[in-house]
Structure 1
Amino acid sequence: MIVLRIPFISKRIEEKNIEYQNKLLEKQMQEVNNIYMTMRGWRHDYHNHLQSMKAYVEMEQYDKLNDYLDLLEQDLNHINQLVQTGNINLDAVLNSKISFAQSKKIDVEYKATCPSKLVVSDIDLCALIGNLIDNAVEACEKMNESDGKQYIRLYIGIFKKQLYISVTNSTNEVVRKMDNEYISKKRGNHGFGLKRINIVVEKYNGYINRQNEPGVFITEIMLPI
């Protein structure tokens, strides 16, 4: 009975982890949509802001003008739009993850374009991208000063009528064999992230290739459009 229950328990744990991560992604996508609507609202009010500032200048109420500018600056500080791919939910995840990586003093280079509609669901795509960047950040944070520069290179685009995703990051780890044994040894968030990536790629009959050379880890993924 114990032997029979082990696969069931493992499957249940996996389902719980996926359910939890999906809820986090749904919350993040909602936050992105809120940011997007805030940006649209600010642009809509741009003319009104200019008129208000001109009025303060004409009345020589420079203190009030300065206060007004401070308020506008606070609004803009809540919006850090680094990437515009064409997919709103993907934009939310990328802007959040890239900003986080940069706050860790990791050098991030990125280029991303994406159709607004894909075969891959937004939740699966965001889970995939989110885990890829999270794992890259984690690898960079484990490096010592003597290991060299911490960096992440991200590319998302269309290649051979498929969605091509490439993430390259610096690392101090060297892995000779990257298979299920390697993934299972990665306990915690990194191990689960690798499994989640594999699940999404397999779900859509995609392609994944991982390469590890001294000082660098590369993941390439292709998914149907």
Structure 2
Amino acid sequence: MKRDISYWLTLSLFGLFHVQAFFQYFRWPIPFYFTYFVLLAVMYYLYKQIPLRLFHLGYGWNGFLFVLQIFLLFLYREAPFIWELAILLFLFIGIEGMRLSFSNTIATQVKAISQFEEEKIYLNETFQIVRSERHDFLKHIASIHFMLENDKYTDARHYLDDLVDGYEETNLSIKGERGSVAGILHQMYRRAKEEDISIVYDLDIALSTLPIPDQRLVALLGNLLSNSIDACEEWQKQHRKQADISLQFYKRSGLYVLICKNNSLPIPTNILDKLYQQHGHTTKRDHHKGLGTKIIQDTVKEHQGFLDFVYKDEEFTVKIKFPAIH
């Protein structure tokens, strides 16, 4: 937060020199403090609207771009014409635009790489769980067979119920899904259960049938479910009761429809108005930067989808539709 404020203050000082140079060219006697007050107001607006991820560029590139902007200030003495002043001003703005654009792009790529590494871990965990369950399956059958041979029907029924409950978690995640998708579904299911959150996968068809590359699909599902779990954790802390998450997926009239619902604490109107519309807005607290919503938004847009969301009675619903075109 302090780093963001320092950046906008520094940028306002640079802007002051550029604007005052224009005023001096036209010989307008406007006090510098009035100009600076206006610039501070503009910077405050940008501070509220634009997420900063400058540290992803590193000190070297950030320092280099700042040196270029300082160099532009010295060129004003050698720019007697208005068009030269205009070029210097546009160069200043262009450099700053490049800084913000590149840093946001790098931040998104870094998050995507981090998620990919997590996906590999989830996939390996799911594979090991399935392998372990398969390894023990015949042992369970032998135990049940022994109980039935000895007329211990009640014990066999209880044993079978416990066994089915244990397999249910894995079966919900891997049924009909490709490995990477099964991995993220299984991991999110386990994470929700660890937080005592009720989570239901209501899938008419496998999510893997979506015409989206595995990496993008896993990022989409991971961010949707992760956001839901985070919101439910906060909701449970305040309400002291179990929160619910449901993930629905079905195909209707040439469209794949994905719906994610979860309990959520009240969301400020200014956040709701810009959620999934502008980068950097998130319902999370603790200075989250909204990269997850950006990845969701980009994935939907890249695959000609449509995203809508509703918040009502402390329930947040995201509905995404994709055309069934391969």
Partner of 1:202: 301
Give the TM-score normalised by the residue count of structure 2: 0.53
Once the two structures are overlaid, the 10-residue window that deviates more, 107-116 or 190-199, is 107-116
Question: 1:115 offset after TM fit, Å?
Answer: 6.0
Structure 1 residue 172, shift from structure 2 partner: 1.3
1:172 aligns to 2:242 (yes or no): no
Q: 1:37 to 1:215 in 2, by over 3 A?
A: same
Post-superposition Cα deviations, 1:29-82, rounded to whole Å, max 9, x if no partner, equal 233233334444444xx179629x85xx99xxxxxxxxxx9xxx9xx9699415
User: 1:38-49 alignment to 2 at 5 Å?
Assistant: 38-43=132-137, 46=138
- Among 128, 134, 138, the residue aligned to 2:230: 138
Deviations 1:88-118 (A, max 9, x none): 4333322221222122122223312316544
Tell me the equivalent position of 2:218.
126
Q: In the TM superposition, what are the counterparts of 1:25-104 in structure 2 within 5 Å? A: 25-43=119-137, 46=138, 50=142, 80-83=169-172, 84-89=174-179, 90-104=181-195
Report the CA distance shift for 1:168/1:190 in structure 2 as closer, same or farther (over 3 A). farther
Structure 2: unaligned runs, 5 residues or longer: 1-64, 67-95, 151-158
Counterpart amino acid of residue 210 in structure 1: F
The separation in 2 between residues aligned to 1:151 and 1:12, in whole angstroms, is 34
**Alignment-mate amino acid for residue 34 of structure 1:** Q
1:95-114 correspondence to structure 2 within 5 Å: 95-112=186-203, 113-114=205-206
Q: 1:223 to 1:78 in 2, by over 3 A?
A: same
Match of 2:104 in 1: 10
CA distance in 2, matches of 1:141, 1:48: 36
Does residue 22 in structure 1 map to residue 112 in structure 2? Answer: no
1:142 aligns to what SS in structure 2? helix
Q: What is the alpha-carbon distance in structure 2 between the residues aligned to residue 48 and residue 214 of structure 1?
A: 46
Aligned to 1:185: 281
- Alpha-carbon distance in 2 for matches of 1:116, 1:152: 20
Measured in 2, the distance between the counterparts of 1:47 and 1:149 equals: 35
Structure with greater proportional strand content: 1
Q: CA 1:173–1:160 in 2, change beyond 3 Å: closer, same or farther? A: same
Q: What is the identity percentage for the equivalent residue pairs of Structure 1 and Structure 2?
A: 18
The separation in 1 between residues aligned to 2:259 and 2:289, in whole angstroms, is 18
Aligned length: 207
For normalisation by structure 1, the TM-score amounts to 0.74
Higher relative contact order (CA closer than 8 Å, sequence separation 6+): 1
Q: For the Cα contact (< 8 Å) 1:153–1:169, is it kept in 2?
A: yes
Once residues 229 and 119 of structure 2 are traced to their aligned partners in structure 1, the CA distance between those partners, rounded to angstroms, is 18
* Superposed displacement of residue 120, structure 1: 0.9
Q: Which residue is 2:322 aligned to? A: 223
| Distance (whole Å) between structure 2 residues aligned to residue 122 and residue 7 of structure 1 | 26
Task: Measure how far apart 1:174 and its partner are.
Answer: 2.9
**Which structure's residues are more often helix, by fraction?**
2
* CA shift in 2, pair 1:204/1:180, >3 Å: closer
Provide the rounded CA distance (Å) in 2 between the counterparts of 1:181 and 1:207. 12
CA distance in 2, matches of 1:220, 1:157: 12
Shift of residue 167, structure 1, vs aligned partner: 0.7
Call closer, same or farther: CA 1:30–1:160 in 2, change over 3 Å.
Answer: farther
The structure having more radius of gyration, on CA atoms, is 2
